[in-house]
Amino acid sequence: GTTGTVAAVDLGASSGRVMVARVGTDCLKMREAHRFENRPVRVGGTLYWDALALYQGIVDGLRAGGQVASIGIDSWAVDYGLLDADGALVGNPVHYRDARTEGVAERAWKTVPAEALYAVTGIQHAPFNTLYQLIAARGTGALAAARQALLIPDLMAYWLTGIAGTEVTNASTTQLLDASSRTWSADLAGRLGVDVGLFPPLRQPGARIGDLLPAVLEAAGLRGPVPVTAVASHDTASAVVAVPAAAGERFAYISTGTWSLAGLELEHPVLSEASRAANFTNEAGIDGTIRYLRNIMGLWLLQECVREWRVELPALLAAARKVPGLRSVIDAADATFLAPDHMPDRIREACRATGQPVPNTPPEITRCILDSLALAHRRAIEDAQRLADQPIDVVHMVGGAVRNTLLCQLTADACGLPVVAGPTEAAALGNVLVQARALGLLGDRTEMRALVARTQSLTRYVPGGDRAAWDEAAARLSGGF
């Protein structure tokens, strides 16, 4: 069949990459053209993203990747850059882990109760939701000067094409959209003093954004025209597109990396009070689907420890495999682990405070993290099935943690379900697939997923281990120790 070549820009919290893929009905081959570190910078007490370094990484990657028929961009959610009346960036985008949003949500709920917010937006509570970031920014010179707010992938697309818009899957994470109509909930936002008019009009995955600007073509060494295509620009939405589920399969997914996002694909949002209390989110997926999931701290916990210990990950994981399991577990969905720094001490402290043995060595702490993540995966998947009344038979793990074979096995053991692990670069693949569909090369979601299943390397983990021990640890966690 016909194939095309496209570039997928995927910006993760730990690294950015530009992938180039050849794609068609029988073909999905992707290679990494360029990978660059994404290093947040703390200046004057605020934690920022280095937006210009990310942009430069994209241009370098496009140059390395060569001529393509289309470019798509996805990144982490919620964060934004502000543009002034001249279209210039007003300050660096603030990182979602910055402390400026502490206590903001609780104050906002005095005006619009959390229940009312959830009933409309269906979005989980996280202190860093764009809504709370914009409230925290009120009164700043930057916000006063701002004429537009652009989410991170939309900001990059604006710099590449000169065209501004707000892609809808990522827009859903702002907590400023109505989950049912997928349009701005201007009224709710207005009551909280937030003007949704700052965001340019919504656009859908598959829409053509615009062509690379002449100066960008030159910097990237490309011949024009090269269109930038809107994809599911929230990285998790792109990752869910690339889950290699078979037609009719009853599946849950865990999109892993810095975060673990664990849940289900649904046709309709679940906006019940029980769902809110369980902190499940209803984020927008492609084709009108809902990503019904819970945020779990994910490999962030380990990343931060490794940064402090200055050790190599493979050796550490080999040692953690030999440590006896489930001695101490922590709540990996707890927002107290959100901020950077001193992670090993914070994990030890959480174990001490709950009367469990305190892990000391790096392998012991690593084992505690991985056991806890597996338990959090189990809990999210159990809760999702119950709250959405949608039972499953298999768990698909995609993203960076697929390389962590211990975590994959522990997740299968904890859930008591088979885990199909792969692909590792799911977000980039989902980005590629949506572009391919926009180019007329692919059909529906089932076809896209079947293509991933046929072409990518997947590993199946069969549940084993001691069921009673997992049940006991799960009870320890949910029973408040």
> Nearest to residue 353, comparing CAs of 320, 329, 325?
329
Measured from the CB atom, is 50 or 84 closer to ligand LRH?
50
Strand-strand pairing, 419-421 and 394-399: parallel
d(CA 70, CA 211): 9
d(CA 133, CA 123): 15
Residue 75 CB, nearest approach to ligand ADP (Å): 9
Residue 374 in the binding site for ligand ADP (CB under 6 A): no
Residue 302 in the binding site for ligand ADP (CB under 6 A): yes
Residue 231 in the binding site for ligand LRH (CB under 6 A): no
Q: Is the dihedral of CA 437, 442, 448, 454 positive or negative?
A: negative
* Total chain residues near ligand ADP (CB under 6 A): 17
Q: Is 383 marked active-site? A: no
Strand partners for 234: 75
Residue 338 CB, nearest approach to ligand LRH (Å): 10
Residue 377: burial class (beta carbons within 10 Å; 0-12, 13-18, 19+): buried
Measured from the CB atom, is 295 or 328 closer to ligand LRH?
295
Where do runs of H (alpha helix) occur along 393-463?
405-415, 426-438, 445-455
> Radius of gyration of the chain from Cα atoms?
21
Neighbouring C-beta atoms of residue 405, cutoff 10 Å: 14
Contact 23, 180 (CB under 8 A): no
Contact 242, 250 (CB under 8 A): no
Task: Name residues contacting ligand LRH, limited to 42-71 (CB under 6 A).
Answer: none
Measured from the CB atom, is 36 or 55 closer to ligand ADP?
36
Task: Name residues contacting ligand ADP, limited to 378-407 (CB under 6 A).
Answer: 399-401, 403-404
Each residue 245-284 as x (binds ligand ADP by CB under 6 A) or -, in order, gives ------------xx--------------------------
Measured from the CB atom, is 15 or 204 closer to ligand ADP?
15
Residue 373 CB, nearest approach to ligand LRH (Å): 15
By residue count, the chain amounts to 481
| Catalytic position from the list 74, 79, 154, 235 | 235
Residue 299 CB, nearest approach to ligand LRH (Å): 11
Q: Which of 124, 169, 289, 303: binder of ligand ADP (CB under 6 A)?
A: 303
Contact 313, 299 (CB under 8 A): no
Residue 227 CB, nearest approach to ligand ADP (Å): 25
Task: Name residues contacting ligand LRH, limited to 272-331 (CB under 6 A).
Answer: 295
DSSP calls for 350-364: HHHHTTPPPP-SHHH
Which residues are at the interface with ligand LRH (CB under 6 A)?
A: 12-13, 76-78, 96, 234-236, 257-259, 261, 295
Summarize as ranges the residues that interact with ligand ADP (CB under 6 A): 12-15, 257-258, 299, 302-303, 313-314, 317, 399-401, 403-404
Catalytic residues: 235
